[in-house]
Structure 1
């Protein structure tokens, strides 16, 4: 199968190497140092147990027109980075190309084949201009929820931390031939990729933690353990999660775990810095709108109050705006 991985970061690199080692024809669409490194040395994966794998047979390109139509496109960028490549993606679409979306948060396609009064609505916080719906038609999309953790430690080098689960699903909940085939290819590569009949419920389950712990950690410069064990921040996280749960319920979503169990799960991860906090410390644009702004938007859409989420959203957006204006980063340093 010809597979294009859009982005060779922490998740794209991990998935791409494993698929290539399973015998698939993998091309990474990348730029800069990653492009040069992959062309020279292939893509390297360091597993959590220290074993190393090099996919030497992968291709790397920054020219969408030259690689031709693909059977599968894995969109492994962060949600706010997708718009920058949207115009290029149609160049690698054939009649039956499937796009597997691996973004955290509420996806741009959320209301496609959703049914009910909101069918076909656009999620403006993640697709403000409608470009994504136009250039990446939801009819091509298979939803995917990313559970593994990994990190890009050097150009062309990814370290896997933990996890191997990538649930997938058709947007209308059917078990189609194409989603079954994708599940099988992922399974052959060593991943657990069950086909779900409600991919949106799984998206909300992961988002439930991301929309709370990510911005709180960024504002407080605290780890998951810190947030969960400090009574005031634990209470804030729970309040935000209750508001999000109310929004989700109005959209027909039922959570398969309790709120306390979800918080306990985050606490067990320990002194882990969320991806948003890592971005703040590195001076990168944080992923805010897909994780938090989208829930604010869906709260308005469903007429559900979200005062705690609104407040945290305003603060973390201001932090990102200030960082951008000052070309800065923010990291706690030991006091002198």
Structure 2
């Protein structure tokens, strides 16, 4: 079978733990040698008792190498970043021991990725986004040539330290910034597929990023401002109209950047309504006293709007409100 694929999951919380547990559960099938970078009580529990994954039908416990010091692990084939977007720039220095000459960095992070304009072509080629990569920390310290895009669809939660509960979803969509079906993307796809995930390699990963971002941009801040669940936001005529206006502004920006949306805005809203009484991640972060992903989900869309000369009046209003909400809560 050849040498194992070395995969380090950096930020092995709920989503990272879900991916890591399944990859590590059957190394013969996946061909993966998995390690986790975690912290605090979660790390201590994984070291002591292994990582436990609770799914609808079963409970799985795996022994997996876990540390808070990446220098213990050495260079990897893949580093999968599953942190909140605002936490990523701060770990660039700590990641360095994991980065060999051919290491790929998989950005399983919500929102607009820092590498967005790498291999983009045209006058915006190589543009760096200050909202998601202040000072170019990731661009310089990781290098855009390492980046593989990843759109994360599963939902999971940490039920207790060392215990991850899978809520729904199995798909991690992968894609090279260039659009090519590279061997490194396909190899990772095969490992994830062997672990039981859906992991297609898409030629237009930015299209997929925008379809997910479309909802996160609007529903996340509205939910944190109103404390309402998705179904309530979509059912209320006022908040539904605000979300729709934000989404249409974003669509105009994305289409100027060459994105093709596979569905229209009203179908996307209906899809969100169908999720039901779900508290968005931004609302959960606010309630837990954690920093919210405002910059990757909202500020970045404003920045892209300025780059393509597309106004964002509704987004601007909601952005101002959610930034103040975060400051008042001591989270920004």
Q: TM-score, normalised by structure 2?
A: 0.96
Q: CA deviation at 1:297?
A: 0.6
Match of 1:315 among 316, 321, 325: 321
Can you give the 5+ residue segments of structure 1 that lack an aligned partner in the other structure?
Answer: 328-336
- After superposition, what is the alpha-carbon deviation per residue over 1:30-72, rounded to whole angstroms, capped at 9, x for unaligned? 111111111001111111x14111112x011111212111111
Residue in structure 2 matched with residue 32 of structure 1 by the alignment:
40
CA distance in 2, matches of 1:284, 1:97: 31
Q: Which segment is superposed worse, 217-226 or 131-140? A: 131-140
Match of 2:51 among 43, 64, 73: 43
1:44-193 equivalent positions in 2, closer than 5 A: 44-47=52-55, 49-56=56-63, 58-193=64-199
Match of 1:289 among 273, 290, 295: 295
Residue in structure 2 matched with residue 20 of structure 1 by the alignment:
24
Q: CA deviation at 1:125?
A: 0.2
Q: CA deviation at 1:97?
A: 1.1
Q: CA deviation at 1:22?
A: 2.7
Q: CA deviation at 1:157?
A: 0.9
Secondary structure of 1:26's aligned partner? strand
CA distance in 1, matches of 2:175, 2:299: 24
- After superposition, what is the alpha-carbon deviation per residue over 1:150-184, rounded to whole angstroms, capped at 9, x for unaligned? 11111111110110011101110001111111111
Residue in structure 1 matched with residue 249 of structure 2 by the alignment:
243
Q: CA deviation at 1:254?
A: 1.1
CA distance in 2, matches of 1:50, 1:217: 31
Contact 1:173 1:199 in 2 (8 A): yes
Matched, 1:231 2:231: no
Q: CA deviation at 1:185?
A: 0.7
CA distance in 1, matches of 2:39, 2:18: 17
Matched, 1:278 2:298: no
Secondary structure of 1:88's aligned partner? helix
Contact 1:46 1:160 in 2 (8 A): yes
CA distance in 2, matches of 1:195, 1:65: 30
Contact 1:2 1:26 in 2 (8 A): yes
Residue in structure 2 matched with residue 334 of structure 1 by the alignment:
none
CA distance in 1, matches of 2:14, 2:267: 27
CA distance in 2, matches of 1:132, 1:77: 13
CA RMSD of aligned residues (A): 1.1
Can you give the 5+ residue segments of structure 2 that lack an aligned partner in the other structure?
Answer: none
Q: Which segment is superposed worse, 133-142 or 202-211? A: 133-142
Show structure 1 runs of 4+ deviating over 4 A.
Answer: none
Q: TM-score, normalised by structure 1?
A: 0.95
Secondary structure of 1:15's aligned partner? helix
Matched, 1:269 2:275: yes
Secondary structure of 2:101's aligned partner? strand
CA distance in 2, matches of 1:320, 1:134: 29
